[in-house]
């Protein structure tokens, strides 16, 4: 089940919210667990066993860790993390490993192995990371061990963020599971956030997607085609993923939870370092706290710092998907993080006040998105060749008629929204004309109208998955 579906909007969500608010407060974790189980099981019932298994495993080993002393504590932590990583490795990387092994065997003249394919459970990358952070935080004493298995399972399976984040940490929600605010104002705030995210997904990301999909499927794209496809995907990915995060945060607010913000205008960054402070904030902070710092961070000299940055981003790339394209994308960002670390005293702040730094960063980000989006390394090289103008310059007639005008318009609108928002937030025109009280009402009206339009458009769509479901 996805947020951008009629089943979720008109059946699941109203039924869940009604049940949630009719349930006495002390039993609402049970309602969350039941609703999240139904939400996840709508896709495949059999993978519920894996989700609940990760919850029970992590909860049990955290309790063992708390009861243990000395080296036994570290062993308990190691066993808990190994079990979670083992599940993630099997389901996410088995096919990748088999394919590469068979490629090596074939090159050596040996018959490939006949091994079965493994289906990737949706959301596994997110809920496994949440389980690992819980084990580490309990071990460090940063989070209290949850006594109730039901409450912990409700946290791991919390449906607003279960499929594509944000990557939550139990220590940030422990108090909210004990007591959280339920008010009309918070519910209204959540509804507004959900509607904004829904519009981002359905009216921008989904409309721009056909342009990106068509051009990334071409062989030998021209200069204009390659850059148009890359721009379309740049818009699609941001509005798809940030839209999901808006919806997840909004649903959390409707239930009384306040989740971490996951995006902070990443496309106005003045460096790749700043970009990762603004893009997928919950993941970048997770990689920093549970991978980069334990590896040594910047405490062991410059060379080790560069190695740690590169290794962290390589693993971050691999987390996104089991493919060489994701590894190379991670290496690209790790390389630039290292370069910027080396030249940190020369970096220019980003934002609209520093357009050259922002343009340079966006160029680097877009070059990386090509590898992130391409079906394989060869497909990425085709796009790069086109971006250099080696396959001609203009859009060919055979391509132009297949590119929907609505998709190109959505790409343009997306870019305008990305770069006009900072200007609108800084302007003092509204205050100067006495419109301070009117503007919020007008904005809310626009959001509601956009949501109605998005719902109407949703009726014409057969399928509208989120990009990060595959990760």
Q: Which of 320, 342, 354, 463 is catalytic?
A: 320
433 belongs to the catalytic site: no
Distance CA 113, CA 91 (A): 18
Please state, as a whole number, how many other Cβ atoms lie within 10 Å of the Cβ of residue 115.
Answer: 13
- The residue among 409, 376, 451 whose CA lies nearest residue 207 is 409
Contact 4/199 with Cβ under 8 angstroms?
A: no
Q: Crossing angle of helices 124-140/48-67, nearest 10°?
A: 10
Strand locations in 230-300 (E) = none
Please state, as a whole number, how many other Cβ atoms lie within 10 Å of the Cβ of residue 447.
Answer: 18
Contact 173/257 with Cβ under 8 angstroms?
A: yes
Sequential DSSP letters for 306-369: HHHHHHHHHHHHHHH-SSHHHHHHHHHHHHHHHHHHHTGGGPPP-STT-HHHHHHHHHHHHHHH
Interacting residues of 57 by C-beta distance below 8 A, sequence separation 6+? 80, 83, 84, 131
Which residues does the annotation mark as catalytic?
320
């Amino acid at each position: 089940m996805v947020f951008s579906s009629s089943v979720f909007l008109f059946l699941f969500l109203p039924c869940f919210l009604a049940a949630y608010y009719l349930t006495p407060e002390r039993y609402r974790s049970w309602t969350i667990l039941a609703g999240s189980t139904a939400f996840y099981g709508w896709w495949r019932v059999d993978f519920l066993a894996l989700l609940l298994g990760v919850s029970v495993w992590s909860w049990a080993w955290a309790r063992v860790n708390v009861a243990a002393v000395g080296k036994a504590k570290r062993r308990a932590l190691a066993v808990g993390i190994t079990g979670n990583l083992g599940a993630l490795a099997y389901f996410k990387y088995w096919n990748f490993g088999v394919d590469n092994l068979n490629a090596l065997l074939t090159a050596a003249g040996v018959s490939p192995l006949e091994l079965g394919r493994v289906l990737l459970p949706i959301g596994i990358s997110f809920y496994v990371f949440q389980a690992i952070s819980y084990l580490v935080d309990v071990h460090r004493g940063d989070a209290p061990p949850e006594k109730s298995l039901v409450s912990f399972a409700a946290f791991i399976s919390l449906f607003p963020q279960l499929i594509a984040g944000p990557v939550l940490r139990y220590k940030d929600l422990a108090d909210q599971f004990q007591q959280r605010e339920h008010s009309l104002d918070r519910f209204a705030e959540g509804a507004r956030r959900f509607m904004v995210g829904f519009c981002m997904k359905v009216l921008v990301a989904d409309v721009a997607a056909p342009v990106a999909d068509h051009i990334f499927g071409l062989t030998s794209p021209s200069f204009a085609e390659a850059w148009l496809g890359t721009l379309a995907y740049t818009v699609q990915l941001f509005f798809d993923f940030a839209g999901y995060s808006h919806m997840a945060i909004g649903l959390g607010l409707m239930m009384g939870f306040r989740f971490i913000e996951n995006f902070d205008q990443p496309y106005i960054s003045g460096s790749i370092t700043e970009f990762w402070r603004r893009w997928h904030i919950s993941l970048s902070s997770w990689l920093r706290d549970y991978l980069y710092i334990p590896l040594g961070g910047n405490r062991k000299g410059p060379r080790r710092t560069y190695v740690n940055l590169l290794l962290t981003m390589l693993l971050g790339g691999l987390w996104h998907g089991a493919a060489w394209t994701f590894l190379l994308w991670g290496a690209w960002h790790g390389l630039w993080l290292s370069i910027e670390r080396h030249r940190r005293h020369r970096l220019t702040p980003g934002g609209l006040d520093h357009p050259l730094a922002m343009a340079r960063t966006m160029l680097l980000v877009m070059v990386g998105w090509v590898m992130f989006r391409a079906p394989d390394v060869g497909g990425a090289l085709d796009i790069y060749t086109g971006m250099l103008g080696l396959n001609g310059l203009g859009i060919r007639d055979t391509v132009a008629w297949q590119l929907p005008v609505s998709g190109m318009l959505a790409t343009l609108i997306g870019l305008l929204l990305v770069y006009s928002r900072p200007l609108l937030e800084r302007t003092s025109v509204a205050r100067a004309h006495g419109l301070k009280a009117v503007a919020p009402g007008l904005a809310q009206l626009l959001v509601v109208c956009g949501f109605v339009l998005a719902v109407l458009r949703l009726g014409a769509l057969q399928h509208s998955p989120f990009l990060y479901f595959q990760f």
